[in-house]
Chains A and B, each alone.
With several copies, the nearest count.
Chain A
Amino acid sequence: MIKVCFFADLRERLGCADMLVEHFSGENIAQLKDFIVKQHPQWEKIFLEKKLLIAVNHAMANNNSAIVAGDEVAFFPPVTGG
């Protein structure tokens, strides 16, 4: 099971703050995206956006980053703090 979080603009557009992804047998972020998009086809366009940022267990990651059961994955737009 993977915990997935969405933030800011992305959270609002998806209408979802976080979800638990079960029965995921892939090994990296790209596969996780495919898996989620299969469950939520209407999210595909948003998930393909170039500027989508990714974190795994609170560290910046990318499509090739490995993930295992129990990981926390976050998707969010470019940050605007400070």
Chain B
Amino acid sequence: MSNSVRVQTEDFDLNKEYNHLRAAHYPCGAVVLFSGLVRDFLPPQQLISLELEHYPGMTEAMLQQLSTAATARWKLLGTTIIHRTGKLLPGDQIVLVGVSSAHRTDAFEAAQFIMDTLKTSAPFWKKETLKQYPGSAPESYWVAAKDSDEQLAQRW
């Protein structure tokens, strides 16, 4: 059993995490990886950048709790949770959740549980800097929490 939780400004290498989850544990039959990316807006809007603030110490504790809760609930062989902070650009990787297990259903459900719960309980906040139309001055907004995320978290 291998559980890894990291909060970092640096980018991550999905393939490296995949190879770790895949190779290290026996008898692994399934790996599910989720990668969350900085999504641009639909034209004429344009995302300039995203600033991810977090609560150091609490973020790591909450992600570790998610990993522990998933491992208690499903039969897992390994979990990896990486979340970036700081300034990110469109297309950048924000978050990686990787889960390995003997059978696919455990890996799929645990990965979804981790993402849904992370979205509503891990202390990260996004601030977007965007242009409303080409040539307009960039403005910054704190992203509002979505009711749909709250509903998705409640199914677990």
Chain A residues within 8 Å of B, Cβ to Cβ: 5, 7-9, 12, 51, 55, 58-60, 74, 76-82
Contact among B61, B95, B104 with A81 in the assembled complex (CB-CB below 8 Å): B95
A-B contact pairs, 15 of them (CB 8 A): A5-B55, A7-B53, A7-B123, A8-B53, A58-B62, A78-B120, A78-B144, A78-B145, A79-B122, A81-B54, A81-B119, A81-B124, A81-B125, A82-B36, A82-B104
Task: Please measure, in the bound complex, the distance between the C-alpha atom of A54 and the C-alpha atom of B3, giving whole angstroms.
Answer: 27
Task: Please measure, in the bound complex, the distance between the C-alpha atom of A29 and the C-alpha atom of B119, giving whole angstroms.
Answer: 25
Tell me whether A8 and B142 are in contact (CB under 8 A).
Answer: yes
Closest 8 CB pairs of A and B: A81-B124, A78-B145, A8-B125, A58-B58, A9-B142, A82-B119, A80-B143, A58-B61
Task: Please measure, in the bound complex, the distance between the C-alpha atom of A8 and the C-alpha atom of B126, giving whole angstroms.
Answer: 8
Chain A residues with CB under 8 Å of B124's CB are 79-82
Contact among B55, B95, B119, B126 with A76 in the assembled complex (CB-CB below 8 Å): B55
Contact among B36, B94, B120, B145 with A77 in the assembled complex (CB-CB below 8 Å): B145
Task: Please measure, in the bound complex, the distance between the C-alpha atom of A76 and the C-alpha atom of B62, giving whole angstroms.
Answer: 15
Task: Please measure, in the bound complex, the distance between the C-alpha atom of A60 and the C-alpha atom of B122, giving whole angstroms.
Answer: 10
**Chain B residues touching A, range:** 20 to 34
Tell me whether B144 and A7 are in contact (CB under 8 A).
Answer: no
Name A58's closest neighbour in chain B (CB-CB): B58
Tell me whether B55 and A7 are in contact (CB under 8 A).
Answer: yes
Tell me whether B121 and A79 are in contact (CB under 8 A).
Answer: yes
Chain A residues with CB under 8 Å of B55's CB are 5, 7, 55, 58, 74, 76
